[in-house]
Chain A
Amino acid sequence: MNNVHAMEDPSTKIWRALAEVSDPEIPVLSVLDLGIVRSVDVAKDGGVTIAITPTYSGCPAMDTISKDIVAHLTSQGVLDCTIEHVLSPPWSSEWLTDSGREKLRRYGITPPDEEGFSKRALLGFEPQVSCPKCRSSKTRKISEFGSTPCKAHYVCDS
């Protein structure tokens, strides 16, 4: 047996495998880029428990993501794998990793900055969104409520 692998923390292998499971909604992102994996536990008997959290509470992709993770780990020889859904700490776009943000930009989506609720937002204040391709700030919102919650459409005027 290879000594390096024998000494490796068993959860490292799981984390590496998770980097290969894509988000079904935006497939350029892995579940790690998206920041929805909350914990990985490997029991003494080798059983793996992975906790994931939904991006929003009604997320219909949670079951698909759970199945994708189990299927991928099974293909890597991890047969005893349980997925738990947890709520805390809750996901927000701040959980996107830096590499995830970069992948989103290349995909044509400007990653959101976290904005707290403000009176200005209530009364129609518009956040400044830069173009994911050229970084210009000369953009116009054409549709605030896109195909998923929190996805808005803009055009770049530069």
Chain B
Amino acid sequence: MDLQRAKYEYALRLGDNALVLCQRLGEWCGHGPELEEDLALTNIALDLIGQARLFLQYAAELDGSDKTEDDLAFLRDGADFRNVLLVEQPNGDYAQTIVRQLFFDLYMQLFYTELSQSSDQKFAEIAQKSLKEVNYHIRHSAGWFIRLGDGTDESHKRMQAAVDRLWCYTGELFDGDDVDQTLIANQVVPDILTLKTHWDAKIKEIFAESTLKIPDNPWMASGGKQGTHSEHLGYLLAEMQFLQRAYPGATW
């Protein structure tokens, strides 16, 4: 695969992960269980939109057409999105939001640590900036994961249900394809499979502290990185893209 094209695909994957999760967290705005959490989630969403913009700006540059970050965010259809399935899963209750966030934050922390060393200067710069932000996000998600898991019977029950529902989306985080292979060979991105050992070890530690149980079912869903999404993404995009679809080119 052409190196430039592989970088474009990868920038889309990273940009779309951040964009879609940002949109999900934004849905909590004004609906958080308490004011502090409302602020925390929307501040995390703000970091994610910043990261999404940096990656999508870079994707637009790599594409070499006259597309902008906004075209990529607002004028692509679901099948053109390259985010992992985990981030498009609905917010559910607060337990589900926190579980989704912890799985993602822990992955991104390990991933950005490695991507900071990328042979591609732009990827390295974005990773160095974003790593500082993820280090903060994980304090929030791990803190709540443990507190709610090791909390009341009700919070424990809800957290375990959220874990059972979302665990099958963690495998895709470590799926590599020919885009990965091309970039790994050029030291642009880390081999994500090697991150899995670290992720497994850390997640085990956090699970132990939270008194929650890692599901036994080894089946994992995948396809998001290649554009095969769950139906949830369509609804999310319908809302996120509405304005630009209904009023093309509208600005503030």
Which A residues lie at the B interface, using CB under 8 A? 54, 56-60, 87-90, 92, 116-117, 119, 121-124, 143-150
Contact = CB atoms under 8 A, between A and B. Distances in A.
B46 to A, nearest CB: 4
B29 interface: no
B179 interface: no
B132 A54 contact: no
Contacts, number: 81
A92 B39 contact: no
9 contacts: A56-B46, A56-B47, A56-B50, A57-B51, A58-B50, A59-B50, A87-B54, A88-B128, A150-B136
Nearest to B39: A145
> Dominant SS at the B interface?
helix
B18 to A, nearest CB: 9
The 3 closest A-B pairs by CB, nearest first: A58-B50, A57-B50, A145-B40
Contact of B139 (A58, A88, A116, A122): A122
A36 to B, nearest CB: 13
B143 A58 contact: no
Nearest to A58: B50
Given A90-B125, A90-B129, A121 B54 contact: no
B154 interface: no
A108 to B, nearest CB: 19
Given A57-B53, A123-B146, A124-B143, A149 B128 contact: no
Interface in B132-175: 132-133, 135-136, 138-140, 142-143, 146
A119 B51 CA distance: 25
Nearest to A54: B50
B46 A60 contact: yes
B132 A92 contact: yes
A149 B43 contact: yes
Given A57-B126, A122-B142, A143-B36, 16 more contacts: A54-B50, A57-B54, A58-B51, A58-B53, A59-B50, A60-B46, A89-B128, A90-B129, A90-B132, A116-B135, A119-B205, A144-B36, A144-B40, A144-B143, A146-B39, A149-B133
